Structure 1
Amino acid sequence: MKKIILAAAAVAFATPAMAAPGDTAQDSGTAVAEIVAPIAITHDGGALDFGIIIPATTAGTVVVTQGGAGSVTGDTLFVSGSTNAADSFTVTGDAGRAYSIVTTGGSVTSGGNSMTFTTDAPASGTLSATGSDNFSVGGTLNVGANQAAGSYSGSYDATVSYN
């Protein structure tokens, strides 16, 4: 019995052993980044040209397609020999990347007179293998009844962004 008491006392007063280190593991992750060429847009010159118009006693419209073809509605007429033209832009950036296009409308003015217009452009495009693309903008001009004579001009915005 003496041995049991001595063994119990030795256990009670023993210095606790240091805990053995637990299992640890380590692995590495990866980080990536891709740098693309900035997207840019350049107006090619020219203008969205609604042509030379004769207004009527009722309102009408002039429509120019993205291909540059013009037509009128209502009693609005083109002056004989009048030409129409779509506007055009060049987009540059990262080769093969898709992008979206947004254009705004606005108004054209002459003196204190104005006419509103909307634009018509493709919703998107894809840059070529060389990193460029072109698109055209058409539109619809609202011609008022008995619209005042004058040379009307205005502007609109075209914005492109990567998809």
Structure 2
Amino acid sequence: MWDRKLPILRQSYCTAFVLAGALLLANLPAISSAHAQSMGTSRTTVVKPLSIVSINDLSFGRIIPGTANSNIRIDEDNGNINIASGNATLAGGTVSRGEFTIVADPNTQVRITLPNRTFLNNNSGPQQMRVNRFRLDGPRNRNIGASGTLNFAIGAQLRVGANQAQGIYTGTFDVTVDYR
């Protein structure tokens, strides 16, 4: 009797293992491909490096200081100079707005950035005068035409102190140009 039941028991165990394995596999998520591939494209345009050249210095001419602080303004559009406040006196000399030329890749757009302020230093002493309110003669974002060049001008305001010390005052400022 044992001999006949033993194969049935083995068969039952085998069937149970197969059923248990099937149940386990049925509860696993469907196996998908572990690898997928697609192609993308990449491109760039190499453009000419930007350059900017100063054509005309920003020059406030000669000034006689007053007894009060004064603000002297050079107009960015026409280069005219005026006393915005105070009692300084304009005394001639070379007056000019700053003028620049940008050389860039034709038919592109650039952004021009001006400084907030700078200082002019007396060449014969420690005195300074502040230059601020830099302004462009148009929008800061500009289109470069087919020629690859663009001219622009800037104006600014000079603060002359009451009884400012005599001397020649000079300084520099940064104008930045970037492709857009």
Query: Partners in 1 of 2:152 and 2:168 — Cα distance?
Result: 26
Of 80, 83, 105, 1:94 maps to 105
Which ranges of structure 1 fall in alignment gaps of 5 or more residues?
Answer: 1-21
Query: Partners in 2 of 1:30 and 1:78 — Cα distance?
Result: 62
1:32 Cα offset (Å): 2.4
Percent of paired sites with the same residue: 31
What code does the residue aligned with 1:52 have? R
1:97 Cα offset (Å): 1.1
1:145 Cα offset (Å): 0.8
1:82 Cα offset (Å): 3.9
- What does residue 52 of structure 2 align with? 41
- What does residue 129 of structure 1 align with? 146
Instruction: Report how many aligned residue pairs link the two structures.
Output: 138
Query: Partners in 2 of 1:27 and 1:58 — Cα distance?
Result: 73
1:57 matched to 2:86? The reply is no
1:28 Cα offset (Å): 5.2
1:31 Cα offset (Å): 3.1
What code does the residue aligned with 1:99 have? V
What code does the residue aligned with 1:30 have? T
Structure 1 stretches (4+) deviating beyond 6 angstroms? Answer: none
- What does residue 3 of structure 1 align with? none
1:77 matched to 2:89? The reply is yes
Query: Partners in 2 of 1:49 and 1:43 — Cα distance?
Result: 13
Q: Which structure would you say has the larger Rg?
A: 2
Q: Which has the higher helix share?
A: 2
1:155 Cα offset (Å): 0.7
Query: Partners in 1 of 2:158 and 2:37 — Cα distance?
Result: 67
- What does residue 160 of structure 2 align with? 143
Query: Partners in 1 of 2:73 and 2:42 — Cα distance?
Result: 52
- What does residue 153 of structure 1 align with? 170
What code does the residue aligned with 1:38 have? P
- What does residue 127 of structure 2 align with? 113
The TM-score normalised by the length of structure 2 is 0.70
Query: Partners in 1 of 2:38 and 2:159 — Cα distance?
Result: 66
- What does residue 15 of structure 2 align with? none
**What is the aligned-residue RMSD (CA, Å)?**
2.0
